[in-house]
Amino acid sequence: MGVQPAEVPDAEPEERVYQRHRLGFWFWASVAWLAALVLGAVFADLLPLKDPNETFRGVSRSGPSADHWFGADNIGHDVFSRTIFGARRSLAVATVATVLGLVIGAAVGMVAGYYRKALDSVIIAILNVLLAIPGLVLLLALISFLAPPGEASPTRQTVWATIALAILTVPTIARVTRAQTMAWSDRDFVVASRTLGARNMRILRRDILPNIVSALVSFAFVLLAALIIIEAALAFFGIGDVSGVSWGIMIQNGRSQLDRAPHMVLFPALFMFLTILALNFVGDELRTRFDVRESGI
């Protein structure tokens, strides 16, 4: 009786999982769009663009042309250059608010999820109160109190609007971080570190934080997309430096010209739409990839 050959494990399921979750065309297209937009916004002063505040005669409300790719607004400003320069403020405010919200929210969520008990109950109660307040109402209340329109300078309004946006994101980030922390704090390696006498701060910093960063990063892209919309809404209401350039201000200025010059609203709104879509694509793809890796442990 011959020896039966050993069975070779079927590697097809693993290949299918890899094929299903590998980064595809839309992910890289989104990354390319975001990279081009960020580079254009950062280096806008070095690019061969027209002055966004320069008024060109005889082109008021004119449509796209060879000289003005996106046309001109009702004052004679070049819409293309204002769209590129407007990305600078919209992205800067949303990015700074996201980073501040991540730092504060992650710290609060990790403390609540790790220590639990009475401290967790107090933190969750405060977060629930903040979540119960409509976001736009909370923003307007904070900005009206910290930088009243008409009294505070435009720069001060922009700074406090950024801080208010960060405060708005803290409850959501804290709840996500708390759930992740509670899941990881019960893992064997964390229990072993606690048994060996490791300090709580070391466990949070060395054992838990590296394992929840992936979830926070993927969530940050989706959050950034939402903050770009909210920042545009604030600019639409005239909060911040209304004399500057941003997508929200451009949409606000072109609102009354929709019947005669729809391109004034179309192009900044299109850039905002593509940016938000790209951020959501990247965030969803990263979340899917991180979930697959975690499920394979």
**pLDDT tens per residue, range 127-138:** 998 888 888 788
Separation CA 81–CA 245 (nearest Å): 10
Q: Give φ, ψ of 28 to 5 degrees.
A: -70, -30
Query: Are the beta carbons of 231 and 169 closer than 8 angstroms?
Result: no
Place of tokens 């977060």: 127
Backbone angles phi, psi at 145, to 5 degrees: -80, -40
177-198 pLDDT, tens per residue?
A: 998 888 888 888 888 888 888 8
- Tell me 244's DSSP state: S
How many other CB atoms sit within 10 Å of the CB of residue 202? 10
Pair 256, 1: CB distance under 8 Å? no
Residue 7 confidence (pLDDT) above 80: no
CA angle, residues 208, 214, 215, in degrees to nearest 5: 90
| DSSP secondary structure code for residue 44 in this structure | G
What contacts 44, CB < 8 A, 6 or more positions away?
Answer: 81, 84, 85, 88
What pTM value is reported for the model?
A: 0.81
Which domains are present in the chain? 27-41+69-291 (1.10.3720.10)
CB 239 within 8 A of CB 143: yes
Phi/psi at 154 (5° precision): -55, -40
Query: 30-69, pLDDT tens digit by residue?
Result: 999 999 999 998 888 888 888 888 888 877 888 888 888 8
Q: Is 55 helix (H, G, I), strand (E, B) or coil?
A: coil
Indicate if the pLDDT at residue 101 is higher than 90. Answer: yes
Phi-psi region of 124 (alpha: psi -120 to 50; beta: other; left: phi over 0): alpha
